[in-house]
Structure 1
Amino acid sequence: MGLERVAAVMQNVHSNYDIDLFQHLMRATQKILEAKHPEQTNLNDEESLTSIRVIADHIRSVTFLIADGVTPSNEGRGYVLRRILRRAIRHGNKLGLPPQFFHQMVQPLVEVMGDAYPRLVSEQSRIVEVLKREEDQFAKTLEQGMHLLEEALSKISAKEIPGEVVFKLYDTYGFPTDLTADIARERGLSVDYAGFDKAMAAQREQSQTASQFAVDYTGQLQVQGETDFTGYDRTTDEAVVSALFDQAGKATKTLSAGQSGIVVLDRTPFYAEAGGQIGDKGQLQFEGGSFAVEDTKKQGMVHLHYGKLVAGSLSVNAKVDAEVDSARQAIMLNHTATHLLHAALRRVVGSHVIQKGSLVAADRLRFDYAHHEPLTSQQIFEVERLVNQQIRANLTGKVETMSPEAATKKGAMALFGEKYGDEVRVLSIGEFSMELCGGTHVKHTGEIGLFKIISEVGIAAGIRRIEALSGDEALMWAEESEQQLQTAALLLKTNRQNLISKLEQTFEEKRQLEKELQRLKSQLAGSKSSDLISQAVDIQGVKVLAAQIDGVDAKTLRELVDQLKDKLQTGIVLLATIEDQKIRLIAGVTKNCTDRLSAGNLVNHIATQL
């Protein structure tokens, strides 16, 4: 039956919308509407009731999605969230509400569902902030899209909105197709979906044609069996060649010196790219030659070693000594640091922080996470401090293998969207972090040495990115920063301790000098205006002054035009200057001449001559 139908029976009502939960939300919508339009009293007509019900239903959906870490975006579940949210706003718009009303519905929802779902209470302010941002963005989209749609509708005589119009609304303005369809239904029109699909396909084909990426032959390989990965405990191993592929992905029995290809081994210490950690590089040594491994990837249960045969001839069934290069250690430092960073963000910023992607390389780490606003400098400092605290504590990394269900029950974090097998590896770092992870890690956090965040930026709606360094790279960054500070202090003839106050003093002096320079420029312009007046000529009863002024900027030129217009009283002024090797034109027309000539048209006309 479902919870709401049971509630309807228990509360002796005939519709889910009549139960106490929905009634509270619907009354809240009506209060917002009455506050905006006190004169509007008829809210019981069928169309208004439908919109109020949609709003009440959709506020629950979007609030729970955001509380669970989903953020509005243009793909996946984020797009589902965006569509639900925008549909609710559209129904508010039909009732006469502005797009920015929807976040006000979070409080009424928390009032009726907060006791049963405490997460709504703890996440309330963040949910409201996410909704506000999305509302503001959609307000612009709605205004632009509706204007274009109304313009298009005024030009069509048929009962169908052309597919190219729907596509332009979607592609150029981000106007959802289902919203266009809603408006079409309201006006008794249909949508040319076939035309829309055709335009979409054409754009997709154009994008693919423009792509310069090389072909990936991995998907074409037919590889059977399973590679035994031994790289958790070692970086060298003895192995046998199971299969060989040439550069085009075609199976071969032999690779010759200078030839690029793919080597498959029965066992390998090389980690295959996964979970954000890049694939290992290294060497495969064999009698009479060697194969340089430039990357390691995985297909099914098989590790693929991409590279080039440096010397000799390598055949199937040959014995090789596999050796991962020293970059593995730096990669392990960064991967463990990524786990510490994730845990620290959840403690400092909030438990809603969820990993959305990562890159773990030898020289840096990159961590993408769900959050609706930039971190403050204090938050970045606190996250960094917390991670370094765990590094100094030299926590032990413990790996356990168990079922995904057991791991979840134990409290390990799993990444939404990742595929896990019957057994998973759970990495615990002291009591600070516990995550499912198949990557390679250091035994103790002290091996990381130092952790440093170097940037924090937004990369998509609701998604932030942190780039950071660890180990030697972090130490070198700190040393370079120290050298830059010393150089800056030397240039300003001060010491590091007084650098900030010296900079503030220098900026204030610069600001005062710029003000004085502008004053002198204005004074110069005033004196020039008197000289220029005599150059005005009479054309058909109108005084016209056109001149080139050297050594002034655009701002001064504008002031000069205004002064000349005041002195001419009736006339047209056109001034030109060259600034940064660009021609600047500024025209002015006194009010009593605007019926004869537009300053904008004059500038456009002259610009085409130049």
Structure 2
Amino acid sequence: MSASDYKTMTTAEIREDFLKFFEGKGCKLYPSSSLVPDDPSLLLANAGMNQFKEYYQGTKTMKEIGACSCQKCLRTNDIDNIGDARHLSFFEMLGNFSFGGYTKANAIEWAYEFITSPEHLGLPKDRLYMTVFKDDEEAIELWHEQGVPYDHISRLGEEDNFWAAGPTGPCGPCSEIYFDQGPEFEGEKPGDDGDRYLEFWNLVFTQYDRQEDGSMPELPHRNIDTGMGLERIAAIMQHEGSNYEGDILRTLIGVGEGLAGVRYHDSATTDKSLRIVADHSRAVTFMIGDGILPSNEGRGYVLRRLLRRAVYHGRLMGIKGQFLTTYAHEVTRLLGDTYPELVEQQALIDGIINAEEERFGATLDNGEEQLKAELSRLGEGEPLSGDVAFTLHDTYGFPIDLTREIAGAAGHSVDMDAFDAAMEAQRERARATANRDAWGKANNVWVALSDSLPATEFDGYDHDELSGCEVVAIVRDGESVKEAATGDQVELVLDRTPFYGEMGGQVGDTGIVGPARVTNTLHHEGGLVGHVAEVTDGAISVGDRVTAVVDHGRRELIRRNHTATHLLDAALKKVLGDHVSQAGSLVAPDRLRFDFTHFEAMTKDELDRVEGMVNAEIFAAEPIVTEVMGIDEAKASGAVALFGEKYGERVRVVSTGSSDKPFSRELCGGTHARNTADLGIFKIVSESSVGSNARRIEAVTSMGAIEYVDERLALMDQAAATLKCRPADLPERVSQMRDELREAKRNIGVAKGSASGDVVAAALRNAKDLGAYRCVFTKLNGISGKDLRSVWDSIRDGAKGEPVACVVASTTPDGKVALLAAGTESAVAAGFSAGNIIKEIAGFVGGRGGGRPNMAQAGGSDASGIAAALDAAKAALGA
């Protein structure tokens, strides 16, 4: 069987040919959806049919006969197998779909035409094999009508060739297409575990609706769902036997060869690492390109796990330093034309990879050190404790799969039963907490009230005061009551209110409701709004009609700060990039806080530019425009929606700036200023980190900004008075004082050196002769650990080239203990090891430490143990 009996095609040629072929059959071409699916039941897009789910369910209708796409997919359920010939984390899935538009016969006919026609793939017919569901006589005959011999068609059971959405619901038979790679591969027939018969295309015929009694009536219309792995068919069309030999992944493997200085196929271990890094780097690049950021949960955890696994395997191959962006750039070069988001997001991709790689480098060093120490204590073949593995995972962030790989390389397994038990115990604790919360919610008075009361009507965008509001409920001490009297602490529920309930980062309003003073406003179940209040004069009862008055001054300040968050969000995107996304906020009367996704601290220049942009919008006196529209229309207009936020069919869109090109446009239900000029001035107070790849800006506007500036000016005046200079001269005066302090410290150091010179000379005279070298054992006072190195320099220089070593202990200025052991190269060659000595004596002073054979240090807290430490050092060296 010759590999040259059919043509060769690149990955790009196959992708383009497939999509054009099905477009020519009348199918609509759909671009790949994001790896972040719209379907909340999915963590990541894992199949081509994900974006067509609503068409399968019948909630949407497609006017064309069908669809075709090349979908970005990601799966990690079999991550341990990635690196063999078949398994990938990221892959491209070619597919064609029908929702009653064309038939099973069409799907089979077109599939066979595409793979055998010389104008397309042109695969040899005698090397093609089909499997069908054992009872699907229709599929057998349809394949045979295309010219497929019966002996090339196999029947398989439900496990292999029947697809179902679940125990009940849509389902149907499948038919898979296999390519015979030749007798040099293992496997006797299609469906075997070997690679001789390679499955590359699966046709799913969803035609039944399985009932609870097991019956399967026909669906109102039959669906077609096909999927052909692009990497797999590319390997076939390039006459290779593995996904990793195709042009895309083989090129990425070449990147690893160059970085590590190794050759593919020289070593099975290195080959696996080359394949894993090639696969994972492509997945990481695409995930970040779709806006996924590393975290410790959800899809962010999947990203972090893949990135860290790639870094680890890079290290196994001997790659030094940070290297993953080299792969990312090659991924973008290879696939950027097809997936332009890789080009658009290259800066974000580089920044996230560099930040994560640097962070994981430290984690890897610490984790490996801890793990290797644990492994060194084990006997030959003894498994590593699952509890230790869990601690490495839970406390140090060291991935369990890396623990298993390192332990395996050292000849040890990991007690996964104990590890899994520890993980399950952790999950159980989380579930117990969740259950307690759930039961608490179920027994909450607000749940009962929401069953009998309609949602509170909010009428506060244009009003700070409403009269004739009906009190529909009163909650006191967690119970619904009919009335409340003076001094009672309650939550009042009105049928309508001008009070904004705390939501979306905006704090709740305060003010007056009838005879009660409102100190906060909260949202509860079923859209009920609770006015947290104290009855201050008389009584209030359910059914009363009252006037609700919001604290106008406080509301105005909140409005301004909320508008400022929108302007800040827009400015951050313009300065830092579109990767910026809101990750939390606080809108209060005196300040605002804005958390956002970003991978490094902002520079002063970036902060100045952001602040300048916001103030330019304020000084431009732009109107704030609010519109209510459909959710699809709002998104099409470019309105920013918060990730993970649930919106109804009708949404409120808040825009600032000109209508044709607004500075900011967001979906928002909060209260806002009427004009940007209302904000007065915007001032950033601080920028800081709030976690991996997340930053926080705190800022002030309006009266808060004036108070901030006044406070800073007062501090300047106070500092100037203390330093006896004008405020304008403060920088020069502080610089002068800094220089004076440096000179003073230098003089103190010189004085210390002179004072210790006599001590060093005396110590050398009393050095112990150990045969091959002399060793100084001495105690000093008031010298820090850093300064002990200068003492060693003096001892070494005083020895004038002779072999010498020292063990020095000192009480530091803060009462702690510093230990140092050091030796010349000749002393080390004669057997002196500073690191071993420090490890042996550090415990006497309540410390720990270590280092190299020529120098090691330790710190401690027990000065009473210095004498014992020096005696132990003498004993260890035979002095």
Same fold (TM over 0.5): yes
Moved more, 339-348 or 104-113: 104-113
1:235 to 447, 452, 464: 464
The alignment status of 1:519 with 2:742, answered yes or no, reads no
The DSSP-based 3-state class of the residue aligned with 2:547 is: strand
The alignment status of 1:307 with 2:533, answered yes or no, reads yes
| Equivalent position of 2:583 in the other structure | 356
Confirm or deny: 8 A CA contact 2:324 2:353 kept in the other structure.
Answer: yes
Q: Distance in 2 between matches of 1:120 and 1:511?
A: 50
The alignment status of 1:29 with 2:255, answered yes or no, reads no
- Select the structure of larger CA radius of gyration: 2
| Equivalent position of 1:244 in the other structure | 474
| Equivalent position of 1:481 in the other structure | 712
Q: Distance in 2 between matches of 1:540 and 1:206?
A: 65
**Aligned 1:204-603 pairs, distance under 5 A:** 221=446, 222-224=448-450, 225-238=454-467, 239-247=469-477, 249-286=478-515, 290-325=516-551, 326-430=553-657, 431-527=662-758, 549=781, 559=790, 563=794, 576-577=810-811, 579-580=813-814, 582-584=815-817, 586=819, 598=837
Q: Distance in 2 between matches of 1:539 and 1:111?
A: 67
Confirm or deny: 8 A CA contact 1:533 1:545 kept in the other structure.
Answer: no
| Equivalent position of 1:167 in the other structure | 390
Relative distance call for 1:567 and 1:146 in structure 2 (3 A) is closer
Confirm or deny: 8 A CA contact 2:393 2:399 kept in the other structure.
Answer: yes
After TM superposition, the score normalised by the length of structure 1 is 0.84
Q: Distance in 1 between matches of 2:535 and 2:768?
A: 84
What is the CA distance between 1:116 and its match in structure 2? 3.1
Relative distance call for 1:144 and 1:557 in structure 2 (3 A) is closer
What is the CA distance between 1:57 and its match in structure 2? 4.2
Q: Distance in 1 between matches of 2:350 and 2:429?
A: 36
Relative distance call for 1:284 and 1:272 in structure 2 (3 A) is same
After TM superposition, the score normalised by the length of structure 2 is 0.60
The residue type paired with residue 341 of structure 1 is L
| Equivalent position of 2:303 in the other structure | 81
The residue type paired with residue 296 of structure 1 is L
Deviation per CA, 1:372-396, whole angstroms, max 9, x where unpaired?
1111101100110110000011110
Deviation per CA, 1:336-392, whole angstroms, max 9, x where unpaired?
000000111111111221111111111111111111111110110011011000001
The residue type paired with residue 511 of structure 2 is G
The DSSP-based 3-state class of the residue aligned with 2:594 is: strand
The residue type paired with residue 393 of structure 1 is A
Q: Distance in 1 between matches of 2:539 and 2:611?
A: 50
Q: Distance in 2 between matches of 1:105 and 1:602?
A: 47
Deviation per CA, 1:30-85, whole angstroms, max 9, x where unpaired?
3233224545351696x766655554443343223322332111123322221232
Higher helix share: 1
Consecutive unaligned residues in structure 2, runs of 5 or more: 1-47, 49-68, 71-91, 96-113, 124-178, 180-199, 201-229, 846-861, 866-879
What is the CA distance between 1:310 and its match in structure 2? 3.0
Confirm or deny: 8 A CA contact 1:548 1:575 kept in the other structure.
Answer: yes
The alignment status of 1:605 with 2:853, answered yes or no, reads no
Moved more, 584-593 or 60-69: 584-593
Alignment root-mean-square deviation, CA: 4.1
The DSSP-based 3-state class of the residue aligned with 1:173 is: coil
Q: Distance in 2 between matches of 1:95 and 1:547?
A: 47
Q: Distance in 2 between matches of 1:194 and 1:136?
A: 29
Moved more, 100-109 or 359-368: 100-109
Confirm or deny: 8 A CA contact 2:375 2:407 kept in the other structure.
Answer: no
The DSSP-based 3-state class of the residue aligned with 1:362 is: coil
Query: Does 1 or 2 have the higher relative contact order (CA < 8 Å, sep 6+)?
Result: 1
Relative distance call for 1:17 and 1:257 in structure 2 (3 A) is same
- Report % sequence identity: 34
Q: Distance in 1 between matches of 2:841 and 2:425?
A: 41
The residue type paired with residue 422 of structure 1 is E
Confirm or deny: 8 A CA contact 2:385 2:415 kept in the other structure.
Answer: no
Confirm or deny: 8 A CA contact 2:355 2:600 kept in the other structure.
Answer: no
Q: Distance in 2 between matches of 1:555 and 1:94?
A: 35
Deviation per CA, 1:3-27, whole angstroms, max 9, x where unpaired?
2565995556866325399744323
Confirm or deny: 8 A CA contact 1:244 1:252 kept in the other structure.
Answer: yes
Q: Distance in 1 between matches of 2:408 and 2:791?
A: 57
The residue type paired with residue 592 of structure 2 is L
What is the CA distance between 1:413 and its match in structure 2? 0.8
Q: Distance in 2 between matches of 1:548 and 1:99?
A: 41
Consecutive unaligned residues in structure 1, runs of 5 or more: none
